Amino acid sequence: MNSTDDTTQQQRRWDDDEWGGEDDEILPDTRAGARRLALQALYWEVASPGQLEEALRQRATAASMGADNVEFAGSLARGCIIHSAEIKELIAATATNWHPSRIARLDGLILQLALTELLYLDDSPARVAIHEAVELAKAYGGDKSHAFVNGVLDAIARQRGIQI
């Protein structure tokens, strides 16, 4: 095994500076906090593939999040990974004026989280999943991210006949 293999096998430590947030961002022990945890873990996974579980563990521990919300965050994040190809195709087909490479990374991850919740998890009303995605976009995205996220999710919900 060479040194490159050793480096890829090491677990990284969560770094709030990489995330762009304040140190030790408070994650409430709520479903909304769980969605933030899932988003942060997915962002970490993009930067360091194969470390989703470690990201979930470290952030949930730092936030002292309860088991039910950690489980929900894990289901969301894992669902995004499992259904990634289908969800990305759906986003690309719906955001017709936006080439996938033009969609900001966080906006894309927020869309993936919301669509995973809408299409693959049965425990949240569609209205709540969309509202929470818009709130994530307001908190972490650019100035117009929330409108973009809302528009794409609304269009997909209408296409799929999902009651909002």
Q: What is the pLDDT of residues 63-75, one digit of tens each?
A: 899 999 999 999 9
pLDDT at position 140, please?
Answer: 93
Cβ distance 113 to 39 under 8 Å? yes
Q: Is the pLDDT of residue 2 over 90?
A: no
Residue type, 156: I
How far is residue 27's CA from residue 42's CA, in Å, rounded to a whole number?
Answer: 15
Q: How crowded is residue 43: how many other Cβ atoms within 10 Å of its Cβ?
A: 18
Residue type, 47: A
Q: What is the pLDDT of residues 120-158, one digit of tens each?
A: 998 889 999 999 999 999 999 999 999 999 999 999 999
- Structural class in CATH, domain 83-164: mainly alpha
pLDDT at position 91, please?
Answer: 95
83-110 average pLDDT score: 91
Q: What is the pLDDT of residues 24-70, one digit of tens each?
A: 578 999 999 999 999 999 999 999 999 999 999 999 999 899 999 99
Residue whose entry in the numeric block shows the structure tokens 């009651």: 163
CATH 1.10.940.10-classified regions of the chain = 83-164
pLDDT at position 118, please?
Answer: 95
pLDDT at position 97, please?
Answer: 80
Buried b (16+ CB within 10 A) or exposed e, 137-148: bebbbeeebbeb
